[in-house]
Structure 1
C-alpha cells in the first residue's frame, strides 16, 4: 500500500521502513522520539506474520501490519490491558491508549481497501492492454510482409538472404521482430497463467540471449550503449527445458538494462555453468542504483524506484514483475545486487538468476 494513502487512513502513529511517521490525528509518542535510543520496536520489520506484537523497552505496544508487500508498524501505543507502562505515564499518555480490537478492525479495513485497489488496477490493466491485440495483429502483418520482401533477395536460405539485403531492410526486420516479440508479452501481463501454457521444450539460453542481443542492436546504437554477450567459462551451455514464456526473460532484462544504462557504457550478459545441471545468467549495466529499501520491491507489479523514475520517464514497473513470475514458474528467482561504489547514485547494477539444464 502507498505510504501516502496509509498516512491518510491511519489515526495511529506508525513506522514505515526505518522512519517514524505521525498520523493525521496523533503525533509520535514523545517517549519514542525523544527518550528511546534503542528503537527496538523496529524489530517487527524482521517478522513475517501479520499482526505480530511486541512490547518495547519502554513498555509500549507495537503491532505489525502486513499490507501486500509492505510492512507498517503501529508503534508507541498502549493497549487497555497493558501492565508494562506505569500508571503515572498512562495518565499523561491517555490519547495513546486503545482497545486491541479497534486496532484489529482497522487492520481488516486496510486489507479490504488494498484488495479493492488491486482489483481495480487489474481491471484497468486488462482494459488498457486489450487494445494491443489489434495493434499486435497489424504488426504481425507488417512483419510477414517484410519477411516476404527479404525472401526475394538472393541466397540459399532466409538467413543468407537477410545478410544480403540492404541494411535499412535488415534494421526494419530486426525492429519488427523485436516489437512483435514484445507485443507477445502483453498476453502474459493480461493473463499471468499463460506463463505455463503449452508444453515445455528444449531452449538454449545462450542462443536465446544471442538472438535478442542482435535484435536490440539498433536501439543500443541509438542509446550509445554496447551489449556484450559472454560465455564466462567457455564450456558449452546445455539446453534447458522451459515453457515458451522463458523467451521474454531476455527481452525484459535487456530492455531494462538499456532503459537504465548511462550513455557510453557497456551492458554485459554473462552465462556460466554452475555445475553439470545448472546455468547462471548475469546482466550487468552502469546506471541508477536501486535504494536498499526497495531492492525487493522492484519485482512488485507497477513499482518503480525513485532512482529509475528520475533517470527515465519510460516504463510502468511491470517488466521485472513479469520476469519474476516466469522464473518462479521454472523453479528459479531473479535477484538484484549492486556494486560497492557509485558516483552520484550511478553505479553497477546486477540482475542474476540460474536455471536447471538437461543433463
Structure 2
C-alpha cells in the first residue's frame, strides 16, 4: 500500500517507519507528539499479527495494520469502551473517540483496495510479458545461427568443436544458451499450467545443475564469484517434467544476483534413499524474518534484496515453487541466524524423489 494513498484514504492519524503522520481529517493527538516520552505504541511494530491492539501508557488505543508489505499503527485513538482515559481528556479529544467497528469497516475497505490494486498490477505485468515472445523467437534464431557457425568448426562432434573453439565463441554460445533458457520461463509466468505440459522423463538433477552452472560461469566471473558443485555420492535420476530445468536457472541466477563480490556459491547435492536433496548457498543480503515465506509469492521482493539489487520483479522464486509443487515437493529458505549484519549465509533447499 502506497503511504500517500493511505494518507488520503484514512481519517485516522497513523505511524509509519516510526514517523507520526496526520490524516487529511484528523491531526495527531498532541499528547502522542509532545507529552509522551515513552512512545511505547511503537512496540507494536515488533508484532507480526494484523489488527493487534495495544493500550499505551497514556491510555490511548492503538491498532497495528499489516497491508501488503507495510506496517502501520493507527495511534492515539479512544475506543468507546475505553474507561482508562479520564473524562476531562475525553472532552478535549472528542474527535479521537471512535467505535471499534468503524475501524474494522475502514480496514476492510483498505484491504479490498489493496487486493484490487495488486490484481490490476498483475494483469498489466502479465500483458507486458506477452511482448517477450517475439523477442524469444528472435533470440532462438540468433542462438541457432551461432550453433551453425560452431558446427562448421574443426572437430568430430559439436561438443568437441565447441570445446576447441576460441574463448569468445564459447562465451557467446553459453550466454545465448542461458538467455534462451531464461526466456523459456516467460511461458510459465504467463501460463502456469504449462509447467506440466508434455510427459515426464528421466532427468539427473546433478547433471542438470552442472549444465546450468557452466552457462553461468561467464556471468559469475565478472564479479569474481565462484560456483562450486558438490556431491558426496552417486545421484539417481528423477522422473520430471521439462520445466524442472528452470529450477537451477532460477536458483543460480538468484544466487549470483544477490551475492557479494569475491564470494562462492555452493551447490550441495546428496541422496538419501529415494530422495535427492539440493542446497544452494550464497553470501548476500538476508531476507527479513517476516518475509521468509513471502519471497515465494508472485511479484514480492524483500526490502534487503531491493536495496542490494534493484533489478528484478519478483517472479523467479514463485515459478520455482510452482514447478516443485508440480513434482510433489517444496522449496524452503533458511539463513544464518548468527549473522551480525544484514549480509550473511542464505540457503535455498528442496528435495525431489528419485526413480
Is the CA contact (8 Å cut-off) linking 2:45 and 2:64 kept in structure 1? no
Is the CA contact (8 Å cut-off) linking 1:125 and 1:190 kept in structure 2? no
Task: Kindly state the Cα deviation for residue 259 of structure 1 after the two structures are TM-superposed.
Answer: 1.9
Is the CA contact (8 Å cut-off) linking 1:200 and 1:244 kept in structure 2? yes
Give 2:270's aligned residue: 272
Task: Kindly state the Cα deviation for residue 175 of structure 1 after the two structures are TM-superposed.
Answer: 1.1
Note the residue ranges of structure 1 that are not aligned, 5 or more in a row. Answer: none
Sort the Cα spacing of 1:286 and 1:209 in 2 relative to 1 into closer, same or farther, 3 A: same
Sort the Cα spacing of 1:195 and 1:90 in 2 relative to 1 into closer, same or farther, 3 A: farther
Measure, in 1, the Cα distance between the counterparts of 2:43 and 2:285. 32
Counterpart pick for 2:344 among 341, 348, 352: 348
Task: Kindly state the Cα deviation for residue 143 of structure 1 after the two structures are TM-superposed.
Answer: 1.5
Sort the Cα spacing of 1:89 and 1:241 in 2 relative to 1 into closer, same or farther, 3 A: farther
Between the two proteins, the alignment pairs up a number of residues equal to 350
Tell me the TM-score normalized by structure 2: 0.82
Is the CA contact (8 Å cut-off) linking 1:260 and 1:312 kept in structure 2? yes
Give 1:259's aligned residue: 257
Give 2:213's aligned residue: 213
Give 2:77's aligned residue: 77
Task: Kindly state the Cα deviation for residue 118 of structure 1 after the two structures are TM-superposed.
Answer: 1.5
1:68-115 deviation line (CA, Å, top 9, x unaligned): 465545344233244455544433432321123432332232123212
1:326-349 deviation line (CA, Å, top 9, x unaligned): 344443133141463457x5x333
Helix, strand or coil at the partner of 2:335: strand
Please identify, of 112-121 and 209-218, the stretch whose mean Cα deviation from structure 2 is larger: 112-121
* Root-mean-square deviation over aligned CA pairs: 3.4
Task: Kindly state the Cα deviation for residue 357 of structure 1 after the two structures are TM-superposed.
Answer: 1.5
Sort the Cα spacing of 1:170 and 1:57 in 2 relative to 1 into closer, same or farther, 3 A: closer
Is the CA contact (8 Å cut-off) linking 1:280 and 1:352 kept in structure 2? no
Please identify, of 60-69 and 29-38, the stretch whose mean Cα deviation from structure 2 is larger: 29-38
Task: Kindly state the Cα deviation for residue 316 of structure 1 after the two structures are TM-superposed.
Answer: 3.0
Is the CA contact (8 Å cut-off) linking 2:13 and 2:27 kept in structure 1? yes
1:12-53 deviation line (CA, Å, top 9, x unaligned): 244668x47434233267469837676597399343xx6x56
Measure, in 2, the Cα distance between the counterparts of 1:201 and 1:71. 46
Give 1:93's aligned residue: 93
Measure, in 2, the Cα distance between the counterparts of 1:84 and 1:193. 56
Give 1:236's aligned residue: 234
Helix, strand or coil at the partner of 1:120: helix
Counterpart pick for 1:42 among 32, 41, 44: 44
Helix, strand or coil at the partner of 1:315: coil
Is the CA contact (8 Å cut-off) linking 1:55 and 1:61 kept in structure 2? yes
Sort the Cα spacing of 1:198 and 1:82 in 2 relative to 1 into closer, same or farther, 3 A: farther
Give 1:247's aligned residue: 245
Give 1:22's aligned residue: 21
Measure, in 2, the Cα distance between the counterparts of 1:23 and 1:299. 35
Helix, strand or coil at the partner of 2:331: coil
Sort the Cα spacing of 1:283 and 1:149 in 2 relative to 1 into closer, same or farther, 3 A: same
Measure, in 1, the Cα distance between the counterparts of 2:85 and 2:240. 58
Q: How does 1:328-347 map to 2 (within 5 A)?
A: 328-329=325-326, 330-338=328-336, 340-341=338-339, 345=342, 347=343
1:311 aligns with 2:313: no
Task: Kindly state the Cα deviation for residue 206 of structure 1 after the two structures are TM-superposed.
Answer: 1.5
Tell me the TM-score normalized by structure 1: 0.81
Sort the Cα spacing of 1:20 and 1:193 in 2 relative to 1 into closer, same or farther, 3 A: farther
Measure, in 2, the Cα distance between the counterparts of 1:94 and 1:133. 60
Give 2:188's aligned residue: 188
Is the CA contact (8 Å cut-off) linking 2:13 and 2:21 kept in structure 1? yes
Give 1:357's aligned residue: 353
